[in-house]
Structures are given as structure tokens and as C-alpha cells.
Structure 1
Amino acid sequence: MVKPQQTLTQQLLRYGLYGILTVAALVYLLPLWVMLLTSLKDVEEIRSGTLLSLPGSINFDAWGKAWSGACTGSTCEGIAPFFVNSFKIVIPAVLISTLIGALNGYVLSLWKFRGSELLFGAMLVGCFIPFQVILLPMARMLATLGLANTTTGLVAVHVTYGVAFTTLFFRNFYVGLPKELIAAARLDGAGFFFIFRRVVLPLSTPIIVVCVIWQFTQIWNDFLFGVVFSGSDTQPVTVALNNLVNTSFGGKEYNVDMAAALMAALPTLLVYVLAGKYFVRGLTAGAVKG
């Protein structure tokens, strides 16, 4: 009789846990639901209804205006040009920081040298430096290099700040790789880059996915670097969204603001929906050695 009671208790606890998680998920997703409903209403319906009321008729006019007609400061071209700017920043910054992190992690884990642990510890400090601390030195550096207010300058900023994280991810992953693979390749006469390209990189898919998702999310959602280091023509979509929300001619169009916010968040949402399970697998890969 003990075993059935224990089984029943475990089932009740499991269902209770699922219920709590379901409620928490619904509460967490409620703002997103409100934004979606608001973006599908016209201004009059927003003012006369409630936040959770369904739209009387689905209207995508706010989405079209947010994309190509809303005013973001002195220009009224929507967020489309700034959407393109964000991709111009994100794609090269993610690729470069991931590649540099992979090389750093490869060296610091499999080709150790005197002082490598000290160097790794120094790089970790970069993970904990607040953004605000580096604004003035970074601005001086970009001005000196002639990269101020440019997309290239923003790419350089994000690569510089992201390398510490990607190095940490790759180094911790490579520590769990079998050392016998590297030793065997070296005995066969393989060199540094040959081993990296033919032996290590094919085993690195999980951690590469982690770094790409991490960097993509951090860079796409960044506002501080974008507002400080970009010019009027190189602003990322997060800065444009802020300008759109704070720019008003006549009445406030909450539906346009919500539609623009959803479009700005859509790329990161898609990345997590499509590759979320690989992100979790990559984080746990190599966590247990042997």
C-alpha cells in the first residue's frame, strides 16, 4: 500500500509544479499578449476599450505605419532602415566575436603556455565591467581610428566587449574534449590551424550555437552602445524604437508603438524559438567530464 500512495503523492506534486509553471508562464507572457492586441486595434478602440479586450476587427495599419511611415525624430520612414542597420551590425559582430572566441578558447585550453591561466582570468574581468565604464575610453578610441558614428565602429565595440564571453564559453567547452585526439593529431604531424580546422571545429557545433545565440541577442537588444556610438544614419533598431515612442505629432498612437516594439523583438524571438533547444544542449555539453 505504501508504493501506490507514494506514486499518487508524486503525481500530485508533479501536477502542482506544472500548474505553477503554467501560471508563471501566462503571467510572463501577458505583456506580450497585451502588446499584440493593442497593435491590432485602431486608436479610438484603444481609448474606449480595455487592455485585455479583443479587437473588434483585426487591423494591420499600425504595423505598416510602424515599418515604413512612423516618425523617428525628424524623419518619417519607419523602423525599416534601422532594422537593416541592426543586421549590418549584428551579423559581422557575431561572426567575428565567435571566431576569435573559438581561437582563444582553443589556445587557452588545449595549447596552454606559461601565464595562460592568468591571461584567462584577466579576460574574465571583461565579462563583469559595466558598460558605462568604457563609454568615454571607447569614444576616444573610435574617434582616433576615424570610426565614430559608423556601423564599423559599432561592430568593433560589440566584438571587443563580446570576445570575453565567447572565450569563456569556448574555453570551458574545449576543456572537456579528449586530449588524446589532439595528441594523436600532433603525432601525425598536424599543425596548430590544421587541428583547429579539422579536429576541433567539427566537434564545436553545440558551443558555436550557444555563442551565436548569446551574441545575437546581446547585440540586437543593445541600446546603450547604439545611442552613444551611432550617428543619425547608423542607429540600430532599438534606438529608432526609442525615438519613435518619444516622438509624437498630435495624438499618441499606442498601436504603432506596440507594433514597432514587436517587430524589433521578432528576430530574437525567432532565434530562441528555432534554436532554443540547441542553446540548452550547448550550455550543458562538456559540463560533465568523462
Structure 2
Amino acid sequence: MTTAELIAPAARRPVTSQHLWGRVGIYAFLFAMALFFLLPLYVMLVTSLKTMDEIRLGQIFALPAQITFEPWVTAWSSACTGLDCTGLRVGFWNSVEILVPSVVLSILLGALNGYALSFWKVRGANVLFACLLLGAFMPYQVFIYPLVRFYAQIGIYGSLPGIVLTHVIFGMPVMTLLFRNYYSALPSELFKAARIDGAGFWAIFISIVLPMSVPITIVAVIMQVTAIWNDFLLGLVFAGRENLPMTVQLNNIVNTTTGERAYNVNMAATILTSLVPLAVYLASGRWFVRGIASGAVKG
């Protein structure tokens, strides 16, 4: 009897009631968790589409009787962030200017460090890696005051280069750990063969390692975009008044107490602020799982 014949009866075995109820329980749990996380988003969305007269009725779960996009327009272009009533659009472009160089530099340096620590036996590499890991788990508040004093002395405090450098510094430990684990799973024979053919450090990194790093790079992009775009503390301290990111502008809009509190504008501004990381994740979510899995097991 062949292996296929032995396996076939098991494949045709009927589903028992125990398995059926277990599957129902799993789907019920997943549905409850999805409802738990999506319910606040639903409330925010329907509130942002209501007029203030309808919001005062207190029916937060009810669909809007008359949909209006005026709160979204106000949140984007004319909501007051303190004394400045220009909405979130200025903060959005500030966040973009901060995000792009911070993501590119932190990922590039993390990939370079991970490559060096994985394939090149640098003296003191283990000590360096331990220091990077220590920096990854220390709270930001420990470094804020020393960095403020240092940036002020070299003249970049409150500037765009200052906040970009800060995000690169704080993102490098996690990026190094991520790429090091991924590169450790790559076949070392490929690296050794390239060295035998005469390829050096940069030739191997650019021609061989980087083209093989697409899955983990997408993971790194999602992580860095989410962390940098959603950052509030570092942007508030290091960006300066002219470069405040979108999250700081959102805080100013929500906490403005002059006149009536416009809950529909606040909800619209909150959703607008979260659209970029949400769009990045939805566009490359399957690559995120694939990249994490590919670096998790030595193959």
C-alpha cells in the first residue's frame, strides 16, 4: 500500500463535533477582537461625518443623519493649533520632511550594521551589538536632556536635521537587530564564494546582500514609518516651532479650549493623522509577515 493510500482515509475523515465547536470558538474570538479594535474607529469615523447639532444628541453609535465633510476640510485647512489657524496641512508636510530622510538613513545604517555584524568578524562586534541592544530598551526620556544640550552646542537644536538625526539614532538599534537576525539566516556559502571571487565589503553589500533584503526592508519600512510618523515626544522637543510634526499639531487642535469643542473636527483630524502609517501597512502587510517569518528561522 502506497503512502498516498494510507493518507487518503485520514483526509476523508469527517469533522467531529469537538473540532467544529473549536473552530466556532476560534472565529468567535477573532470576531470579538476585531470588534473590540474596530469599534473606536467606527465611532471616530461616524462622529467626523456628523454636525455638532447631531453630536449633541449623544447617540455616538448612530450613523449620521446627514453626512458632512466640513469637519474634514476644517481639520485639514483651518483648524486652530494654538494661535495658528492653518489646520493639519502644515504639520503633514513637516512630518513628510522628517519621515523620508529618517526612514532611509535609519534603515540603511541598520542594514549596514547588521551586515557587518553577521558576515564580517569585526573586533569588539559583540560588545557593540550589546550596546545597541541596551540603547533599544532604554526609555527616550533618559537621553532627551543630554541630546538637547549637545544639539544646542553644535547648532542643530530645533531644526530639521536635528529631529532627523534623533530619529536615526533611536531607530538604529532596532534596525540593526532586525537586519542582523535576517542576514544570519542567509547561506554563508554565498558570502564566502563572493569573497573568493574577489568581492570586497561594499561590493558584496551592494550587489548581493541588498537585493536579497527586500522582505526585511519592507518590514523595517513599516516599523519605522509607524514609529516616526506617530512620534509625539521627540517631535515636540527636537523639531522646533517651524518643523512641528502632524502629531504635535493634532495635540494642539484637540486641546484647544477657546470657544466650543468641535468633536467632529477632532475626530477628523485624528483619522487624517493616522492615514499614512495605515496606508503603508495595508499596502505591504503581507510582506511584513513574510519578512518576519523569513528572519525567524535559520534555514
Q: Name the TM tier (shorter chain).
A: over 0.9
Separation in 2, partners of 1:118, 1:222: 29
Q: 1:285 aligned to 2:294?
A: yes
SS in 2 for 1:126: helix
SS at 1:48 equivalent: coil
CA deviation after TM superposition for structure 1 residue 262, in Å = 0.3
Picking from 182, 186, 193, the partner of 2:191 is 182
Query: CA offset at residue 230 of structure 1?
Result: 2.2
Could you tell me which amino acid in structure 2 is paired with residue 9 of structure 1? Q
Name the counterpart of 1:223: 232
Q: Counterpart in 2 of 1:97? A: 106
- From 252, 255, 270, the counterpart of 1:243: 252
Deviation at 1:107, TM superposition (A): 0.3
Correspondences of 1:115-194 after superposition (within 5 Å):
115-194=124-203
Matched, 1:13 2:22: yes
Deviations 1:145-189 (A, max 9, x none): 211111111000000000011000000100111111011111111
Amino acid at match of 1:101: G
- In structure 1, what is the equivalent of residue 123 of structure 2? 114
Match status 1:232 vs 2:279: no
Q: What letter corresponds to residue 173 of structure 2 in structure 1?
A: A
Partner of 2:223: 214
- Higher mean C-alpha deviation, range 167-176 or range 247-256: 247-256
Structure 2 residues not aligned, in runs of 5+: 1-9
Question: Could you tell me which of 209, 214, 236 is aligned with 1:205?
Answer: 214
Match of 1:165, SS? Answer: helix
Post-superposition offset of 1:112: 1.4
SS where residue 136 of structure 2 aligns? Answer: coil
- Within a 5 Å distance, the mapping from 1:29-40 to structure 2 comes to 29-40=38-49
CA distance in 1, matches of 2:177, 2:215: 14
Letter in 2 for 1:194: A
- Paired with 1:173 and 1:197, the residues of 2 have a C-alpha distance of 16
Secondary structure of the structure 2 residue equivalent to 1:54: coil
Q: Which moved more, 1:279-288 or 1:126-135?
A: 279-288
Instruction: Supply the AA of the counterpart residue of 1:281.
Output: R
CA offset at residue 5 of structure 1? 7.0
Report the AA paired with residue 135 of structure 2: G
Q: Which consecutive aligned stretches of 4+ in structure 1 deviate over 4 angstroms post-superposition? A: 2-6
Find the residue that maps to 2:103 and give its secondary structure: helix
Q: Does 1:65 align with 2:74?
A: yes
Q: 1:27 aligns with which of 24, 32, 36?
A: 36
